[in-house]
Structure 1
Amino acid sequence: MGQLRRSVLRGALGAGAAGLLIGGAAPLPGARARAVPTRTALGLRWLGVSGWELSFAGRSILFDPYLSRMPYADGGGALDGALPLRLDPAAVERVAEDGLAGAPELILVSHGHFDHIADVPQLLARPGWRDRRIRTLCDTTSRHLLSAMGTPAKRMNDVIPVYGGDHLQFDGYSVEVFRSLHSRQEDYTSFAPGHRDSAPTRPRTLGDLVEGRTLAFQVAVEGGPTVLLTGTSNFAERELTGARPDVAVIGMSGHAAVHGYPDRLLSVLGAPPLLVPGHHDDMVTPLGDSGVFRTASPEAVSALGRAAARQAAPGGCRVLTPRHLEVLDITGEADT
């Protein structure tokens, strides 16, 4: 995968200074035009919040698939851990049936908060996916929470605890696991911190789904680009040193308390050729609503674009603007 690092996406994006590509659901400019052997096609679909689907060769991987989009704030707009979990099974089923490429073979969970893990048990229990093996990678706290939320015992056998430093080989792709950090609120605290050493009683409130250990994942599909997936607006700098993804999916929710974000992140990653913001919508407007895309923060996209421009890397790096449930074509191509 090393030969893909810089030139693989430059042909698709075009050389030049960093900039914004609006309406990123369309194929990337030039991705079909170069007379070079085609590499493995890789699609990236935003599920809202920090959720994504990676699809390739008729297969798919889910990252932080949260579809219920339940109320989360008190009267002042702040996260309220005392609010009840109000899962939306109909919404989850609707997206799983009509909005995804099919049954995933792998689910990646960055941490245990409600907007990352709450719908994973329902997805794992879907009757239509019963005959498909689905592995889940997460930290031990998330594994205990999945058990407490009623994940079928058969599926729990394939819920695999991972740690920063794991690099796992699957059929046709690998997944590298990095220790990461959760975003900080403006008062420097984190929402619902904590760990679980065993399965607790069934979670009832948002705050019952505690963070655990936050992870980031880098997926490298054979013949395609490497994709770094982050679920928060923070990172552990020394853990990512040496990582060189072709595509970085970057959490862009509130990060005022995190020094130098996202500039430090882009610097330690070596200014990836392609950047995609995530976790920058309102988290509550239903995915079926025609106006859900308008809840995505344009300032989050612009802030990432400004950080990309400041990197001044050879060839620059570009920012795509994702749209809910639409596929971004991030196909990689081989060097000639």
Structure 2
Amino acid sequence: MGQSRRSVLQGAFGAGAAGLLVGGAAPLPAAQARRMPKGADLGLRWLGVAGWELSFAGRSVLFDPYLSRMPYAGEDGALDPALPLRLDPDAVEHVAEKGLTGAPELILVSHGHFDHLADVPHLLSRPEWAGRRVRTLCDTTSRHLLAAMGTPAHRMADVVAVDGGDHLQFDGYSVEVFRSLHSRSDDYTSFAPGERNTVPPRPRTLGDLVEGRTLAFQVSVEGGPSVLLTGTSNVAEREVAGARPDIAVIGMSGHAAVHGYPDRLLAALGSPPVLLPCHHDDMVTPLGDAGISRTSSPDAVAALARAAERRAPGGGTRVLTPRHLQLLDVTAAG
């Protein structure tokens, strides 16, 4: 691709507002921020990159749980699709045992890239979760990739292929699925595009885990808040228009080539009361490293805050700064 994730982040959040707004874009009309319901408690835990755990009533849902944080750059510093997949089972186990609420009821996967999907087969294979039913929602490409990576057959029976427009009811909460888009590099391309309509050979390289169709998910807890989860820095705004989440998790990796992002996304969502940036760390520093918090881009938080202010000047929208593996009580924060 000729461009590293680090350079993409620097390009998007570097000096001044360059790359944050498209020159000449008309300002969006102001909006009033909404209040978040104070019903059921909801906690969010950032797992790094685009990953999150949602916890409520002793239950949990995982989104894009990528914990291996494997090397992704070649000698030139660019994202290299030919690099081998180097999963880190010890890292996955450490977080699963020490950093998660327990076995999730549901795993949501936004798309098939390594930094979103690669650790899901290991998580689904954990003996400690053997007695718990864990469903996985993803697109068809990701389902085929999960099978190719050796996900146990009994778990594959609970891997459900979904598409934009699905709205599924679970016990005490619902999950709405939206068609979304992958972020674009400065040259308007995206990493490892493609779909898999059948189960391919076992993936061996980063580029073998192709995007498929990118999805976003809105989890709505009965009597509590709703959370929109996005795994990339792009938006199909007409797909999410009217979603009105109480909390929006916003991908903030490079988006200089995407017109008006994240302003268009916030406008489509109607200024959620709470915003959380994600996909803005270095992707490789181990989660247990004492300095991992310094790998997150503070400019991502600032850029999101500026967009929120442009959308609702003086409004009540709060942009929170997540810290790796720390539980955030977003119900109280709202």
Q: Give the TM-score of the pair, scaled to structure 2.
A: 0.88
Superposed, 1:289-328 pairs within 5 Å as: 289-312=289-312, 315-328=315-328
Partner of 2:23: none
Deviation at 1:74, TM superposition (A): 1.6
> 1:39, 1:224 within 8 Å by CA — same for their partners in 2?
yes
Q: C-alpha distance in 2, partners of 1:326/1:46?
A: 7
Residue type of the alignment partner of 2:289: D
Residue type of the alignment partner of 2:260: G
Aligned length: 302
> 2:165, 2:176 within 8 Å by CA — same for their partners in 1?
yes
Q: C-alpha distance in 2, partners of 1:285/1:55?
A: 25
Deviation at 1:330, TM superposition (A): 1.2
Structure 2: 5+ residue stretches without partners? 1-32
Partner of 1:79: 79
Q: C-alpha distance in 2, partners of 1:136/1:245?
A: 22
2:331 aligned counterpart, secondary structure = coil
Q: C-alpha distance in 2, partners of 1:197/1:311?
A: 41
Q: Deviations over 1:78-114 (max 9, x none)?
A: 2110000000000001100111011000000000000
1:232 aligned counterpart, secondary structure = coil
Verify: 1:330 aligned to 2:330, yes or no.
yes
1:302 aligned counterpart, secondary structure = helix
Superposed, 1:84-99 pairs within 5 Å as: 84-99=84-99
What is the aligned counterpart of 1:8 among 30, 36, 40? 36
Deviation at 1:197, TM superposition (A): 0.5
Deviation at 1:76, TM superposition (A): 2.7
Q: C-alpha distance in 1, partners of 2:41/2:230?
A: 21
Q: C-alpha distance in 1, partners of 2:36/2:80?
A: 44
Partner of 1:55: 55
Deviation at 1:332, TM superposition (A): 6.8
Greater relative contact order (Cα < 8 A, sep 6+)? 1
Structure 1: 5+ residue stretches without partners? 10-37
> 1:308, 1:316 within 8 Å by CA — same for their partners in 2?
no
> 1:40, 1:223 within 8 Å by CA — same for their partners in 2?
yes
Partner of 1:225: 225
Q: Describe the shift of the 1:171–1:314 C-alpha distance in structure 2 as closer, same or farther (beyond 3 A).
A: farther
Deviation at 1:275, TM superposition (A): 0.2
Deviation at 1:150, TM superposition (A): 0.3
Deviation at 1:77, TM superposition (A): 2.2
Q: Percent same amino acid at aligned positions? A: 77
Partner of 2:182: 182
Partner of 2:200: 200
Q: C-alpha distance in 2, partners of 1:216/1:47?
A: 17
Partner of 1:127: 127
Q: In angstroms, what is the RMSD of aligned CA positions?
A: 1.5
> 2:249, 2:275 within 8 Å by CA — same for their partners in 1?
yes
Q: Deviations over 1:272-306 (max 9, x none)?
A: 11000000000000000010011000111111011
1:331 aligned counterpart, secondary structure = helix
Partner of 2:30: none
2:232 aligned counterpart, secondary structure = coil
Verify: 1:65 aligned to 2:77, yes or no.
no
1:7 aligned counterpart, secondary structure = coil
Q: C-alpha distance in 1, partners of 2:156/2:92?
A: 20
Q: Give the TM-score of the pair, scaled to structure 1.
A: 0.88
Q: C-alpha distance in 1, partners of 2:85/2:60?
A: 28
Deviation at 1:241, TM superposition (A): 1.0
Partner of 1:209: 209
Q: C-alpha distance in 1, partners of 2:218/2:118?
A: 22
Q: C-alpha distance in 2, partners of 1:77/1:294?
A: 20
Deviation at 1:313, TM superposition (A): 5.6
> 1:39, 1:332 within 8 Å by CA — same for their partners in 2?
no
Q: C-alpha distance in 2, partners of 1:71/1:333?
A: 34
